[in-house]
Amino acid sequence: MLAAFGGVSRSIGVRIAGVVALGAFCIAAVAASHASAAGGGVQKVRLGGDRSETRIVIDLDQAATAKVTADGGDDRRMVMILPGVTPKETLQGAGQGLVKGWVIDHSGGGARLRVDLAADAVIKRRFLLPPAEGVSTYRYVIDLAARGAPLAIPTDVQFVSRKLPAKPALSMKKVIVVDAGHGGKDPGAHGVRAIEKDVNLAAALALKTRLERGGRYKVVLTRSSDVYVPLDVRVQIARRADADLFISLHADSGPDANLRGASVYTLADRATSRSAKFVSKDDWFQKVNLTGGDRGVSDILLDLTQRATRNRSGAFAELLLGRIDDVAPLLRRSHREAGLAVLLAPDVPAVLLEMGFVNNPNDEANLRDPARRARLMGAVGDSIDDYFAQQTRLASR
């Protein structure tokens, strides 16, 4: 009996190994298809089920994988990113079952699904279904279950399409993370009367006021007082906030006190490998939950995300410089690239703004004057408005 059972076990083991290998091959093929079809879109979102078990189906015109950035365990807000997928428009809908409401929009290098949960729930499983007979789209399926309940969604569940209701449950505010450079034990550069950390914080607070005035943004500060915040923590604050944009404010310093003007930094292409090492510290992109944990697929998705994010960062930098040019002088080479730590998040468009030279008398005076500082931050706020307006126009084409 034991020998026979061992033979059956080995036979089953061989079959399972074959299935796992086939699954890994399929995932790799999906990633390759994903890479070649980057820019594809979300077609629609469908919901089915009840308050014990709910299924979310995202219809796509391409293969895709996803990563969960928030599982809803703390605040009943689930967030998932589909790298390389571009919604043709912002989609939003009322809920059903365990889903109170949902929104799909752009974020970093892909489509972002945000779900407000109606009750405590867990993601029991996620998987991709390819086109099949009578179905022309790919379908990314997310199964939710009430916390502690078994999952048994019937195969004949009826789905109800929910798209663009009059009163969406989720806020459509964009999340802007404003980083006041330096702080605490790290004073930054010194002028005759100004210290960089103080100038940066005053500017960050002024920008927060400007952005919140119109009610379109949720603003998160990496620091709101004179405290030291490590560079990697600043990046994690942006990622945990599910930021749509990150802007770090600094004041420059140079060997020549006559040198003045603002400049903007974005992540250099040569620094993308450093970005990969940075996120691997907490196994960020490897938490995509791919079948078999295929590292090659994760690398492909990371590369796709980085490229899209760098493009978005560069586009914002140009808009930012165009607005600042109206209110303050710029350095001759005003758009620069570097491997600065605060720019390393692969999925959050990010820039570092050097507002001027704190050791130049004219720039220092401008940075210390509340009215001139507010005018500069007003221009920064206008560029943020321009950036998201441009995104909306592109999505509507």
Q: Do 278 and 148 belong to one domain? A: no
Say what the pLDDT of residue 187 is: 94
116 contacts 169 by C-beta, under 8 angstroms: yes
The verdict on residue 336 lying in a domain is yes
Pick from 178, 182, 239, 242: which is nearest to 209 by CA? 178
Say what the pLDDT of residue 168 is: 44
Q: What is the SS3 assignment for 257?
A: coil
Q: Do 144 and 184 belong to one domain? A: no
User: Domain boundary at 161, 186, 210, which?
Assistant: 161
Neighbours of 52 (CB within 10 A): 17
Q: Do 154 and 261 belong to one domain? A: no
**pLDDT over threshold 90, residue 43:** no
116 contacts 171 by C-beta, under 8 angstroms: no
Model confidence pLDDT, tens digit, residues 171-229: 678 899 999 999 999 999 998 999 999 999 999 999 999 999 988 999 999 999 999 99
> What total of structural domains would you count in the chain?
2
Pick from 152, 133, 156, 135: which is nearest to 144 by CA? 152
Say what the pLDDT of residue 23 is: 39
The amino acid that residue 234 corresponds to is R
**pLDDT over threshold 90, residue 161:** no
Non-local CB neighbours of 252 within 8 Å, separated by 6+ positions: 189, 263, 354, 355, 356, 357, 358
Q: Do 135 and 274 belong to one domain? A: no
The verdict on residue 182 lying in a domain is yes
Q: Do 373 and 308 belong to one domain? A: yes
**pLDDT over threshold 50, residue 324:** yes
Residue whose tokens read 């493009």: 311
Say what the pLDDT of residue 329 is: 93
CATH number at residue 96: 2.60.40.3500
**pLDDT over threshold 80, residue 150:** no
Helices (H), the chain: 2-36, 196-213, 231-240, 272-280, 295-324, 361-368, 370-396
**pLDDT over threshold 50, residue 34:** no
Model confidence pLDDT, tens digit, residues 301-320: 666 677 778 888 999 999 99
The verdict on residue 33 lying in a domain is no
Q: Do 272 and 388 belong to one domain? A: yes
Q: Do 74 and 190 belong to one domain? A: no
The verdict on residue 25 lying in a domain is no
Q: Do 218 and 79 belong to one domain? A: no
**pLDDT over threshold 70, residue 127:** yes
Q: How confident is the model at residue 392 (pLDDT cuts 50, 70, 90)?
A: low
57 contacts 91 by C-beta, under 8 angstroms: no
Q: Do 144 and 206 belong to one domain? A: no
Q: Do 335 and 202 belong to one domain? A: yes
User: Domain boundary at 127, 161, 195, which?
Assistant: 161
The verdict on residue 258 lying in a domain is yes
Model confidence pLDDT, tens digit, residues 220-253: 999 999 999 998 889 888 888 888 999 999 999 9
Q: Do 88 and 224 belong to one domain? A: no
Pick from 102, 6, 119: which is nearest to 52 by CA? 119
Question: Tokens for 138?
Answer: 């790919």
Mean pLDDT of the chain: 78
Q: Do 113 and 71 belong to one domain? A: yes
> Torsion angle of alpha carbons 23, 25, 31, 34, nearest 10°?
-90
Taking the C-alpha atoms of residue 177 and residue 342, their distance in angstroms, rounded to an integer, is: 11
The verdict on residue 305 lying in a domain is yes
The verdict on residue 52 lying in a domain is yes
Taking the C-alpha atoms of residue 34 and residue 68, their distance in angstroms, rounded to an integer, is: 18
Model confidence pLDDT, tens digit, residues 245-301: 999 999 999 888 899 999 999 988 776 666 556 555 554 444 444 334 455 555 666
Residue 223 burial class via C-beta count within 10 angstroms: exposed 0-12, middle 13-18, buried 19 and up: buried
Taking the C-alpha atoms of residue 31 and residue 323, their distance in angstroms, rounded to an integer, is: 39
Compute CA 392 distance to the chain's CA centroid, rounded to the nearest angstrom: 17
Say what the pLDDT of residue 173 is: 83
The pLDDT of 48-53, averaged and rounded, is 88
> Of 56-70, 179-193, 383-397, where does mean pLDDT reach its minimum?
383-397
Model confidence pLDDT, tens digit, residues 344-360: 887 889 999 999 999 99
DSSP 340: -
Kindly report whether the global pTM for this prediction surpasses the value 0.75.
no
Say what the pLDDT of residue 307 is: 78
Quote the domain boundaries for residue 287: 174-396
Taking the C-alpha atoms of residue 305 and residue 301, their distance in angstroms, rounded to an integer, is: 6
User: Domain boundary at 114, 132, 161, which?
Assistant: 161
141 contacts 128 by C-beta, under 8 angstroms: yes
CATH number at residue 333: 3.40.630.40
128 contacts 62 by C-beta, under 8 angstroms: no
The verdict on residue 11 lying in a domain is no
